[in-house]
Structure 1
Amino acid sequence: MPAADTATLLIHCPDRPGLVHDVTGFISSHQGNIIDLQQHIDPAENAFFMRLEWNLEKFTLEKEEIFARLQPMARRHEMQVRLHFASQRKRVALFVTKENHCLYDLLARHEAGELPVDIPLIVANHETLKPAAERFGIPFYHFPITKDNKAAQEAAQIELLKKERIDTVVLARYMQIISPAMIEAFPNQILNIHHSFLPAFVGAKPYHQAHVRGVKIIGATSHYVTADLDEGPIIHQDVMCVSHEDSVQDLVRLGRDLEKTVLAKALWWHVRDQVLVYQNKTVVFD
């Protein structure tokens, strides 16, 4: 087993004494070397959250055994458990329409080695960004969508994603509402970037809405997609100041920088298994 390989355990459960002792005891009992441990308690919900990462170099259990061996402890403490391995890179599909700023940003970061993922494909409902996919050598799949063919096209998309073993979908300014079937197929695995500081200005044309309201800040929000439009668990947000002198076009231009950085950071946390979803909120271990 490569010395660099690590395992990451994400846990949430009712808070009670002995949780940290039991989890770390399990790791140490199998010669695991813990390299990172973070925890959070929500007193109002009596909920406990933990992210624990350990080195597998001398771990006495095979990777295929670990999850099953955790189950007695998980049942005892009513734990929800997720287990990931650093050597198993996430396979990410990028969904786009016509706007290219988020797509180019993610592809550039990936090419520079700043995103530890595989990007086997780009999916689009227009062919506008096909040259970008060709430039980076990534297969491009065009699914033109109309009101009449939307269900069939999404079914074909899901089939493609399953065939390519995709585990994360990024909506990089993909201007289509995702169906319940897609959300059910990839729960808490579809990341979206919305060009406003949610919950303000949901839906279409948020910069226009912001300009009409005369806001003094604009923002961007990356969240997991749920069946409720723009209401999924928020992963990351950021804002910048604007003024009465800024036009709608100024807001769009300024906001694009926010969209790129917010989406990239949210994806970074997601692929490094630093995000726990709980009751439509997230705990992000930074």
Structure 2
Amino acid sequence: MWKRAEQTGSTEMRGVFVETLQEMMDQNKKVVALEADLGGASGFSKIQKSHPDQFLNVGIAEANMVGIAAGMSMRGFVPFIHTFAPFAVRRACDQIFLEGAYAGNTINIYGSDPGVCVAQNGGTHTTFEDMAIMRAIPTVEVYDPADGVQLRWLIHSLEHKKGVHYIRAARKGMPDIYAEGSTFESGKANVLREGKDVLLVAAGLGLKLALDAADQLAEEGVEAAVLDMFTVAPFDVETFRQQAAGKKLIVTVENHSVTNGLGSAAADILAEDGSGIRLRKVGIENRFGQVGSQDFLMKEYGLTVEHVYQIVKTNL
């Protein structure tokens, strides 16, 4: 069961990923890590040193890495692969589709620094469309963990889970949301805050924005519920419907394009239900990436607490 963190702080996500894999490798020799020549950026070079027989650097050949991982899966291994999110998804999409999902193999993909988390690496390394691509592939599960605690649990949960799993997560620090030892359920959203007026649905980087916006709204008497939809696919339709019922407005918050991401998943459900509840999306509006610090990019693309707050106030 999950609990909220009592103290604020931040945790480096790549450190959590590496440490968790090392713990699993100590106990399970079938767990392997594959890297596409970014071991320094991801921290996977530490795995190369600590578990050389369970590590493979394939070089700058992301599509080939997916193929190798698929082959290892067929031989009973549990592969975890890493590269930056655009290379994991755009460059290796056909291999993920055919050699992973279609063939029924198990591949756990860490696509790092999605969206504005890419910072100074610029537009070529920016992906605002990775969830859109991955959630459209049958059977693929898409995760957007909000902090290190959620990420650690997620990695452990995939050790014995079959299929293709895509984890989009920053490499560097993310604000602590959950208390140590929290556990979760794949495909099940978490209600972090109750409220009768507005529903804020968020995941990953967007979750802290939603929580802070809810605090700001509460000061003005607006009650905002906050839903952590960390499993974007499959989407938790049941919890979403329960929380949406009776609300005046729903706002989705995501570090992703507003096209075919978290907001679109929510919109599909509302359209099918015919509830008439208004939906507004906070995310990237039909733009490419650019060079800049993460703080700059968040302001540039409207991923701020103030923007979420203004969207609610304008549409209530």
Measured against the shorter chain, the TM-score band is: 0.3 to 0.5
Per residue, is there more strand in 1 or in 2? 1
Per residue, is there more helix in 1 or in 2? 2
Using structure 1 for the length normalisation, give the TM-score: 0.34
Q: Which has the larger radius of gyration?
A: 1
